[in-house]
Structure 1
Amino acid sequence: MHTWHWQTWEEMSYLTCSLLEAWPHGFFTQHFWPRSPEELTMVLHPDASGYRLKQVHGNTVLTPGEIVTQLLSPNDEVNQNQEDYSVLPSADGLVSEQPLQALWVASADCTPVLIADEKTLQVAAVHAGWRGTAAKIVPQAIARLQAQGSKIQDLRIAMGPAIAGEVYQVSTQVAAEVGLSIIPQEDEKATVEALHELPNPPLLPDPNPGKVRLDVRRINFLQMEKLGISPEQIAIAPYCTYQTPEHFFSYRREKQKKVQWSGIVSR
């Protein structure tokens, strides 16, 4: 069984997973807000370079090299500065290419996914909300790792704190859109019914008509299972952002623009 551990830095806590213990990594709590990923990189590895994205709930996955290229593109007249959030390329996943690249994603109920390869030692960081999950962002990131030589059996994946299915109310339309990523059906109703019938179903009933409760992490788990990843290669944090206000910010709970950062460093 994979274990999760609280680490402390300057009296603030962040979470690590035994599955990724060979890589500097952390799922940081809201207490680190508003520190930048550049500052948090120092916590994980002082020699690493930090990279982040302008997250847009899509399924684009980039490498640090592609970020730098886009920041330096000549038709871009804005200030080429990673501190200026507005100029960062839009994407929701990052895959390392070299050692000592710290990859960061921000989340406030969406699922932060950190991936590492035991053989190539490369890593990926993914922001998987329901839209990104519907568009299979985690399989996209894994495909990019495979293009760089990763084998499915060598991957180790940790899904960090996110809103739990039991409290995440969505419309049946949203549930069906996400469900299509694992069980293609002819219509919305059939998809929702099929999701309810799965073992350990990713959908739970909701008292309101036209609503259900959606477990986004479970959907991501099932997408990875379809790729041939075994359950032993995946760890899911036992924390819900919505139900753990002492550690995590939740957009659904507080409706503020705050985030917590999750990051991992390639070796």
Structure 2
Amino acid sequence: MAEAVEVLRAALLGSVPHGFLGRRGGVSSGVVTGLDMGLRGMDPDDPALAPVRENRRRGVEAVLPGARLVGVYQVHGADCVEAGDWAEADRPHADALVTDRPGVLLGILTADCAPVLLADTQAGVVGAAHAGWKGALAGVTDSTIAAMERLGASRGNIVAAIGPCIAQASYEVDEAFRLRLLDEAADNARFFVSGAPGHYQFDLEGYVARRLERAGIGGVERLGRDTYADEAAFFSFRRATHRGEPDYGRQMSLIGLA
């Protein structure tokens, strides 16, 4: 019997169709064994992507059966777009998207960066953001909240959940990295602890949560799952890089309206 797709959900998002997926329940093999969702810039119809297409079908059926999956071409920036009817090959370059249309399932890919799912259930508006350190620093979550407001959401009614991402214990950075964050705000020092000489451990999840809280939304939930440390459950770019592996899997986080 095939392994079921594992779907992690956030209490704060309640009954909104959503899920943070990992690597369990897919058909990909090799170093990306499991529920690998990455298109890798390839033609979506390339036969080599057949396992990914099946994984995506399984993911959609596990979260919002029959929905139309919509994603963007992620570039580690801060742009957010309203989900459209584009083909996979025509995805806009952005790192977040929003919708108020039932039957549309927003999808964000990550492999250590923080996936953020947002919802205003009263207005019927949802959003999804890919928040690596670059995008988070540039304001991708702020852009997503603003885009939700343009669709009728109220900032105080928006709640957000931060899914599996690389944890502080696994995320070593250098002094130059730390200084970039301190240039934005001196109190960002709270997101670093000393590590090896000249290096620090960075709390990406904490930093993203703080950006959301400062935006004045109604609530923020952290799942507290480490993509780097939990190999059985998640793909990790940094883990694959440290091992010199030729590829790495991408997990997807999904949210939509029934």
TM-score by length of 2: 0.81
Of 223, 226, 230, 1:240 maps to: 226
Q: Percent identity?
A: 27
Separation in 2, partners of 1:101, 1:21: 18
Matched, 1:207 2:206: no
Separation in 2, partners of 1:156, 1:45: 20
Cα deviations across residues 13-63 of structure 1 (Å, max 9, x unaligned)? 221111112111111111332344354222212232110111111111111
Q: Secondary structure of 1:94's partner? A: strand
Map 1:165-204; keep pairs closer than 5 Å. 165-181=168-184, 183=185, 191=186, 194-196=187-189, 201-204=190-193
Shift of 1:88: 2.1
Shift of 1:10: 4.5
Shift of 1:110: 0.3
Separation in 2, partners of 1:260, 1:12: 12
Cα deviations across residues 145-181 of structure 1 (Å, max 9, x unaligned)? 1122211221111100000112211122223323444
Separation in 2, partners of 1:101, 1:177: 37
Matched, 1:22 2:41: no
Q: Secondary structure of 2:6's partner? A: strand
Alignment coverage as a number of residue pairs? 226
Matched, 1:40 2:59: yes
The answer (yes or no) to whether the contact 2:16–2:121 under 8 Å persists in 1 is no
Q: 1:179 to 1:51 in 2, by over 3 A?
A: farther
Matched, 1:152 2:155: yes
**Residue matched to 2:235:** 249
Of 104, 110, 121, 2:124 maps to: 121
Please tell me the root mean square deviation across aligned C-alpha atoms, in Å: 1.9
Cα deviations across residues 41-91 of structure 1 (Å, max 9, x unaligned)? 2221223211011111111111112xx3xx4xxxxxxxxx42x4xx42211
Letter in 1 for 2:216: G
Runs ≥4 in structure 1, deviation > 6 angstroms? Answer: none
Separation in 2, partners of 1:141, 1:180: 23
Letter in 1 for 2:231: P
Q: Secondary structure of 1:138's partner? A: helix
Q: Which moved more, 1:52-61 or 1:163-172?
A: 163-172
Q: Secondary structure of 1:43's partner? A: helix
Structure 1 unaligned blocks of 5 or more: 1-8, 72-80, 184-190
The answer (yes or no) to whether the contact 2:5–2:62 under 8 Å persists in 1 is no
Separation in 1, partners of 2:180, 2:57: 35
Q: Secondary structure of 2:239's partner? A: helix
The answer (yes or no) to whether the contact 2:172–2:200 under 8 Å persists in 1 is yes
Separation in 1, partners of 2:119, 2:183: 27
Q: 1:248 to 1:149 in 2, by over 3 A?
A: same
Q: Secondary structure of 1:213's partner? A: strand
TM-score by length of 1: 0.78
Of 49, 64, 68, 1:49 maps to: 68
The answer (yes or no) to whether the contact 2:160–2:221 under 8 Å persists in 1 is yes
Q: Secondary structure of 1:46's partner? A: coil
Letter in 1 for 2:232: E
Shift of 1:225: 1.9
Q: Secondary structure of 1:30's partner? A: coil
Separation in 2, partners of 1:105, 1:228: 23
Letter in 1 for 2:111: A
The answer (yes or no) to whether the contact 1:103–1:125 under 8 Å persists in 2 is yes
Separation in 2, partners of 1:88, 1:259: 17
